A and B are shown apart, each in its own frame.
Chain A
Amino acid sequence: MKVLVAVKRVVDYNVKVRVKADNSGVDLANVKMSMNPFCEIAVEEAVRLKEKGVASEIVVVTIGPATAQEQLRTALALGADRAILVESADELNSLAVAKLLKAVVDKEQPQLVIMGKQAIDSDNNQTGQMLGALTGFGQGTFASKVEVAGDKVNVTREIDGGLQTVALNLPAIVTTDLRLNEPRYASLPNIMKAKKKPLETVTPDALGVSTASTVKTLKVEAPAARSAGIKVKSVAELVEKLKNEAKVI
């Protein structure tokens, strides 16, 4: 079966971002960008399904600026077969992204769509679920285990109190949680080979999707800083401070 994996180019998770002085956003100039960690897990899961003989083709898609080709090449080096870039210079909201992915799903007709549970920049955790509504597919969000069995996929999900397993009819959407797998690294020969794999570029207009949004960001501020704390010398002093100064125990 065909698997579609959606990935996003985001600021690297190790970067400590800074808010711009004019409060218009965070400063992303000259900051290291990477594939969103949850998307790496999605790519890895698709590659494992191919290695098990479950998936026959992996198509990776991203929506973003021309530079997002780097993340598509990374996915190709990890084992995806071909890539689609929906090129848009604007920062798009989840609903617009879900609509664009719906157009790609209509064209590609995958049996399974795998994507991360959230992007570490917007922290929205929406796109997979929205794509579920638009396509009418079942959704297995926050997946820690995925098993394709016949015309169904069993997804074990991380929920607040523990784990829940659901069975979804294919085609279906899975969003990955951290513990689904440990993503591999791309080897140098595979990085070289990935340069020759097909990468198609389309525009939102060509897909016939409007990316207008009803939500606008008025300002972005740094969070309130915590006042500097103190170091205590002993456990006894700590207990004394907690009881008499902070009064929390």
Chain B
Amino acid sequence: MTILVIAEHTNAALAAATLNTVAAAQKIGGDIHVLVAGANAGAAAEAAAKIAGVAKVLVADNAAYEHQLPENVAPLVAELGKSYSHILAAATSNGKNILPRVAAALDVDQISEIISVESADTFKRPIYAGNAIATVQSSAAIKVITVRSTGFDAAAAEGGSAAVEAVSGPADAGKSSFVGEELAKSDRPELTAAKIVVSGGRGMGNGDNFKHLYALADKLGAAVGASRAAVDAGFVPNDMQVGQTGKIVAPQLYIAVGISGAIQHLAGMKDSKVIVAINKDEEAPIFQVADYGLVADLFEAVPELEKLV
């Protein structure tokens, strides 16, 4: 049994989610190969080779793979994947974009966002916005799976010394091209990897008021998230959204400020170790999942909290 893990990377660096995916592969058991598909991705490949438990790193270096366009990357993964028992990728926007295309090309079902490995063919995954957990079993010859990174502790980034091997695959399929991207800039930790997350909702009132959360977050070394209501109201960019349709986080501490706690939001954060809710509505559903609830005006409580921590 050999497992192919698709690396999540920016060509220059490996994304943390890759480590969680390798950890899931270790639970399945077997040799683990990591595929780094990109352009000038030597640095990412070197980082992948150092991950503890990785037996081999395959590098497909081609300008066609630079921006992870699924029309180009999926045929490569499907071709290489034929000799593996499992193909795993992190359930990031790239993983979700590419892997179903791989599964269909291999004519097998795909299993999305597993949170635990029961055995080599049986996995648990949340459905209905995390309101139910399904245990599913696959009889497919090749099991194609995306991994929810918050469900697995990261594999050690150092300690491995895997061989790096160059591979090649189909060139540009000529169906799509990269036009441009606009990445939100932030000095704070990445939302999905942060130990502490401070999130704001509709109760923040406007985008300017998020400065109170940024100040608190900087003091705590935390990432800042938001509910869908705050994103839709234009307070903050949408890559800050925590929830069923945004990012899934499971930090040590999640501080929900001015967030009512709709089920779609809870789906994105209810596996946090400790949840704190600050809301002036004591009936808000967020208090049903909060370990510590404070019924207070956030504009008084947040600055005071910032002063005291």
Indicate whether B181 reaches chain A with its CB closer than 8 angstroms: yes
Indicate whether B308 reaches chain A with its CB closer than 8 angstroms: yes
B126 touches which one: A123, A130, A154 (CB < 8 A)?
A123
Q: Are B238 and A144 in contact (CB under 8 A)?
A: yes
Per the 8 Å Cβ criterion, residues 106-155 of A in contact with B are 117-118, 120-134, 136-139, 141-142, 144, 154
Q: Could you say which residues of chain B place their CB within 8 Å of the CB of A139? A: 70-71, 97, 101, 176
A248 touches which one: B92, B96, B176, B252 (CB < 8 A)?
B252
Indicate whether B253 reaches chain A with its CB closer than 8 angstroms: yes
Q: Could you say which residues of chain A place their CB within 8 Å of the CB of B12? A: none
Q: Could you say which residues of chain B place their CB within 8 Å of the CB of A166? A: 67, 69, 176-179
**Complex alpha-carbon distance, A139 and B308, angstroms:** 49
Flag A208-232 by CB within 8 Å of B: 1 or 0 each.
Answer: 0000011111111111001001111
The minimal Cβ–Cβ distance linking A159 to chain B, given in whole angstroms, is 4
Indicate whether A17 reaches chain B with its CB closer than 8 angstroms: yes
Q: Could you say which residues of chain B place their CB within 8 Å of the CB of A232? A: 292-294
A138 touches which one: B175, B245, B275 (CB < 8 A)?
B175
Q: Are A26 and B305 in contact (CB under 8 A)?
A: no
Q: How large is the interface on A (under 10, 10 to 19, 20 to 34, 35 or more residues)?
A: 35 or more
Q: Are B295 and A121 in contact (CB under 8 A)?
A: no
Flag B282-302 by CB within 8 Å of A: 1 or 0 each.
Answer: 100001011111111000010
**Complex alpha-carbon distance, A231 and B287, angstroms:** 8
The minimal Cβ–Cβ distance linking B265 to chain A, given in whole angstroms, is 12
Q: Are A162 and B101 in contact (CB under 8 A)?
A: no
Q: Could you say which residues of chain B place their CB within 8 Å of the CB of A178? A: 228, 232, 238, 245
B176 touches which one: A142, A169, A239 (CB < 8 A)?
A169
Indicate whether B206 reaches chain A with its CB closer than 8 angstroms: no
Q: Are B96 and A214 in contact (CB under 8 A)?
A: no
The interface size of chain B toward A, counting residues with CB under 8 Å, comes to 88
The minimal Cβ–Cβ distance linking B150 to chain A, given in whole angstroms, is 14
A129 and B70 contact, Cβ closer than 8 Å, known pairs A162-B184, A165-B180, A220-B133: yes
**Complex alpha-carbon distance, A178 and B247, angstroms:** 13
**Complex alpha-carbon distance, A96 and B232, angstroms:** 34
Q: Could you say which residues of chain A place their CB within 8 Å of the CB of B100? A: 94, 125-130, 133
A229 and B179 contact, Cβ closer than 8 Å, known pairs A129-B104, A141-B96, A219-B134: no
Residue in chain A with minimal CB distance to B115: A223
**Complex alpha-carbon distance, A220 and B294, angstroms:** 34
Q: Could you say which residues of chain B place their CB within 8 Å of the CB of A235? A: 294, 296, 301, 304-305, 308
Q: Is the interface of B mostly helix, strand, loop or mixed?
A: mixed
A231 and B295 contact, Cβ closer than 8 Å, known pairs A17-B132, A126-B112, A218-B122: yes
Q: Could you say which residues of chain B place their CB within 8 Å of the CB of A137? A: 175
Per the 8 Å Cβ criterion, residues 248-294 of B in contact with A are 252-253, 263-264, 270, 273-276, 282, 287, 289-294
**Complex alpha-carbon distance, A12 and B202, angstroms:** 23
Q: Could you say which residues of chain A place their CB within 8 Å of the CB of B137? A: 215-216, 218
Q: Are A138 and B97 in contact (CB under 8 A)?
A: no
Indicate whether A66 reaches chain B with its CB closer than 8 angstroms: no
Per the 8 Å Cβ criterion, residues 152-211 of A in contact with B are 154, 157-169, 172, 177-179
Q: Would you list 30 pairs from A and B whose C-beta atoms are within 8 A, ordered by A residue? A: A19-B131, A123-B113, A127-B100, A129-B99, A133-B102, A139-B97, A141-B97, A144-B238, A161-B239, A162-B184, A163-B183, A165-B179, A165-B181, A179-B232, A214-B108, A216-B137, A217-B134, A219-B135, A222-B131, A223-B130, A223-B270, A226-B289, A229-B275, A230-B292, A231-B293, A232-B292, A235-B305, A246-B253, A248-B253, A249-B220
Known contacts A213-B109, A229-B275; 17 additional CB pairs below 8 A are: A93-B109, A120-B129, A124-B112, A130-B103, A132-B104, A133-B100, A162-B181, A166-B69, A168-B175, A179-B232, A217-B135, A219-B134, A220-B133, A230-B291, A232-B292, A235-B296, A246-B273
**A: which residues have CB within 8 A of B?**
11, 13, 16-17, 19, 26, 93-95, 98, 117-118, 120-134, 136-139, 141-142, 144, 154, 157-169, 172, 177-179, 213-223, 226, 229-232, 234-236, 238-239, 241-242, 246, 248-249
